[in-house]
Chains A and B, each alone.
Chain A
């Protein structure tokens, strides 16, 4: 028996010793990989519409490039895509391109040495900036490089159910939802009339990313386009942050939104009369909800063309595990060309992040008027703060939010100040 313990102890010791020289494995691709051409593999989202676009794009490329074929597949299943990609980076098995890279994860992937700086390609930065214009700035890393290509956004807006609004005695064609007070009045009417059990139902759970779908869109609008962190300091405890937090606190304290995890989509199942989401969801509402959409509210009711919101963007990362990075860059440009962006827009309804989007695809927006406002809103979006601490920052804000806003515990300003102070410490390292 003692012998067995010795074996186990030796294994633990081996773990300690070998870990000292870990981080080995195959060497990182040399710069020559940047110009290497050949077959590559890519991952795309498992969303039905994006799979359709991804397959068509791969087919189009492969038929024209028989020596540089793409092997495309959906991102392997996991708790989150970011977890799967992070593990693949560590294992050295990341694909060449992932067409579903969350900006909140890019800082960590970069720190892991998993992402290629796209500015390393001679036309890298110029291509990104020509396509996305000034909005690309939000996706620039601290070192000035681009470790992600801004691909598509899903500007978050307020969706409302026209039938339920009519049932509640609200104007279904021109609902008055632009100010916090108007929104609250409409929400109270929905609830009191029994048109729906809840007025709106943002996920009340504690995951870091939920902050992006309640606090952040309204904060972007209220503050005139501020990120929750600027110049290494938290901004969300300012007057705009307090106004937004107060608005949501009222929503929860009056029972206008649910505090429990809801199974399925509360808006699609008519549990709530409104939702706060981007245009990707339109496909899932088809045939279920007679919907309309308006910009997120502000305290003063700013005009629609001045409203900012959260982008809910998904970008493309080119990974260092890729041997044929030259081909990967060519594919990236092909997949984000005017032609492919048009196909993405028409197949998925999501907004390619290119300047003058509506001018680039006038036919689509003329034919699909419901998407016009999303195209317009896409020009005014705010992203999560960059860097390796994004998730920690979002989780800190979320923890404060669930306690002070959803549960309504303690002083709101104090909670925001405490969270801001924690965020400042995190960012100061």
Chain B
């Protein structure tokens, strides 16, 4: 290989090596290939977020095109109001409760089920489709089934008999949010199982063989080979389920009739919808949204920090 170092500069311009030119070409190509996604993220995510931050600093409301209105600058007043609003505080606590139930349950169940599905020989396709089907079905349609199952005289309470809670699940202040967390876990499980199934294909068979040779039980093999082998997928599942969970809206809107009972299942996004769309205060709703983004980012950072292999 010839040296790529150019003769000493005599003209005052920096010499460009073949290696640098190659890197520059690669850089341009890299940008070119990344451009569609970057444009997508910039237009669909970054610009609206910037706009939301702007809205949150004003007494903002939507107007017809060309209508000139005064939207007073409020500074951080929307934020201080949101932070001291009992309905907003409650919604954040609710979603915190939701995440505490939903995220661990999602990770554990999807990993265990994916591992079992990976080992199944018969009816594999049928079982995979069965888990994926709820994920594909619209919440609006599935909510009807859960209302039937968890109503006072529903199937679950009939099975529980005298152990059935009173008031029933979805109208019980203590059980409404856990019920929603269970519903969402069940509904989303198929997607996360799919992620784990993909990750499991990358765990070397020789590791399981070595474990078996060493006399490892199924549990020891699962704990010492499978779990570390799909660690990156686990971080992804943690992040995605947290982000999806923090954006909870449809279920409290439909399953518990608008965040009931008495706000026990209201989520920040539901409060944003009420304030921003129904009550015409998008500036205030935007402030709640920005707080939710910050809340989610902190959790996601912690998960990434302590969950990833770097951590």
Contact = CB atoms under 8 A, between A and B. Distances in A.
B148 interface: yes
Nearest to A90: B62
Given A205-B258, A391-B280, A399-B263, A28 B66 contact: yes
A11 B43 contact: yes
B244 interface: no
A11 B47 contact: yes
B50 A263 contact: no
A395 B274 contact: yes
A261 B170 contact: yes
Contacts of B47: 11-12, 14-15, 18
A417 interface: no
A16 B51 CA distance: 5
Contacts of A12: 46-47, 49-50, 53
Contacts of A407: 173, 261-262
A320 B67 CA distance: 10
Contacts of B62: 86, 89-90, 112
Nearest to B58: A19
B258 A8 contact: no
Given A11-B47, A19-B55, A111-B280, A24 B66 contact: yes
Nearest to A388: B280
Interface stretch (B14-22, B34-42, B102-110): B34-42
Given A204-B257, A320-B64, A23 B278 contact: no
A28 B278 contact: no
Contacts of B263: 206, 399
A26 interface: yes
B170 A260 contact: yes
Given A89-B62, A111-B61, A114-B64, A15 B257 contact: no
B168 A28 contact: no
B48 interface: yes
A3 interface: yes
Interface string A1-25: 0011001111111111011101111
Contacts of B68: 23
A161 B43 CA distance: 56
B304 to A, nearest CB: 15
A221 interface: no
Nearest to A8: B46
B65 interface: yes
Contact of A15 (B48, B69, B260, B281): B48
A27 interface: yes
Interface in A270-297: none
B147 interface: yes
A142 to B, nearest CB: 16
A325 interface: no
Given A28-B65, A86-B277, A263-B148, A19 B51 contact: yes
Interface residues of B, number: 52
B65 A25 contact: yes
Interface in B210-264: 253, 255-263
A409 interface: yes
B63 A23 contact: yes
B303 interface: no
B296 interface: no
B54 A20 contact: yes
A16 to B, nearest CB: 5
A8 B41 contact: yes
Contact of B42 (A11, A82, A320, A399): A11
Contacts of B42: 7-8, 10-11
A89 B67 CA distance: 11
Interface in B128-157: 144, 147-148, 151-152
Nearest to B34: A4
Contacts of A89: 62-64
B31 interface: yes
Contacts of A23: 63, 65-69
Contacts of B48: 15
A3 B43 CA distance: 16
Nearest to B144: A263
B1 to A, nearest CB: 29
B2 interface: no
A7 B30 CA distance: 14
A4 B61 CA distance: 32
B54 A15 contact: yes
A3 B148 CA distance: 52
A10 to B, nearest CB: 8
B43 A206 contact: no
A15 B65 contact: no
B10 interface: no
A89 B65 CA distance: 8
B280 A263 contact: no
B65 A206 contact: no
A339 B246 CA distance: 54
Nearest to B57: A16
Interface in A174-202: none
Contacts of B52: 15
A321 interface: yes
B171 interface: yes
B167 interface: yes
A28 B67 CA distance: 6
A19 B69 CA distance: 14
A254 interface: no
Nearest to B55: A19
Contacts of B84: none
Contacts of A265: none
A113 B69 contact: yes
Contacts of A403: 262
Given A7-B42, A111-B61, A261 B257 contact: yes
Contacts of A321: 64-65
Contacts of A19: 50-51, 54-55
Nearest to B168: A260
Contacts of B253: 79
B11 interface: no
A11 B49 CA distance: 9
B254 to A, nearest CB: 8
A9 B259 CA distance: 35
Contacts of A399: 262-263
6 contacts: A12-B50, A13-B50, A15-B50, A27-B66, A86-B62, A112-B63
Which 9 pairs of residues, A with B, have the shortest CB-CB distance?
A: A15-B50, A205-B257, A25-B65, A113-B67, A11-B46, A12-B50, A11-B42, A206-B258, A19-B54
